[in-house]
């Protein structure tokens, strides 16, 4: 999947589409991002201010302006690795009625930590019964 650059991109419906095609109605779904400068997050899906606040918060924790030794791919490279280190690379969510069993105000997000868009690979492992 292609990201639009730094920020949280909702992948909930894309995962639900994959689950619908799988025929699994009840079970577990593990989602894993195969990158060291992006992460996954279950978070509020109603108010976009939450996602903007999270982005500002993590930028304060790992700013590009800090002196980072590793800058092989540019000034946003090491801050992206640091941001990924304090977040998650996988999420496991129950499946009910053929969909991720997220709460009313929850969504699953791919959190791109690099400033430019990238192609990111997610591995989805769903296990259960139809």
List pLDDT tens digits, range 93-103: 999 999 999 99
The yes or no reply on domain 7-129 and CATH 3.30.70.20 is no
Instruction: Provide the percentage of residues in the chain whose pLDDT is more than 90.
Output: 96
Domain boundaries, the chain: 7-129
Residue 119's pLDDT is: 97
| Residue 71: pLDDT over 90 | no
Q: For residues 102 and 104, give the distance between their C-alpha atoms in angstroms, rounded to a whole number.
A: 7
pTM of the shown model: 0.94
Q: Which backbone phi and psi does 78 adopt, to 5 degrees? A: -65, -40
Residue 42, exposed/middle/buried by CB under 10 A (0-12, 13-18, 19+)? middle
The set of residues, in sequence order, having a beta carbon less than 8 Å from that of 80 and lying 6+ positions away, is 37, 38, 113, 114
Q: For residues 3 and 24, give the distance between their C-alpha atoms in angstroms, rounded to a whole number.
A: 27
Instruction: Return the axis-axis angle of helices 48-61 and 77-85, rounded to nearest 10°.
Output: 110
């Amino acid at each position: 999947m292609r990201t639009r650059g730094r920020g949280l991109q909702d992948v909930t419906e894309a995962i639900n589409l994959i689950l619908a095609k799988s025929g699994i109605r009840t079970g577990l779904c593990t989602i894993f991002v195969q990158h060291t400068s992006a992460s996954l997050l279950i978070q509020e899906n109603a108010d976009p201010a939450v996602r903007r606040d999270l982005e500002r918060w993590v930028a304060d924790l790992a700013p590009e302006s800090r002196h980072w030794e590793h800058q092989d791919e540019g000034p946003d490279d090491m801050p992206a690795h640091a941001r990924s280190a304090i977040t998650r690379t996988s999420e496991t969510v129950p499946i009910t009625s053929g969909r991720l069993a997220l709460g009313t105000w929850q969504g699953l997000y791919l959190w791109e930590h690099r400033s430019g868009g990238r192609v990111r690979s997610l591995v989805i492992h769903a296990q259960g019964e139809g």
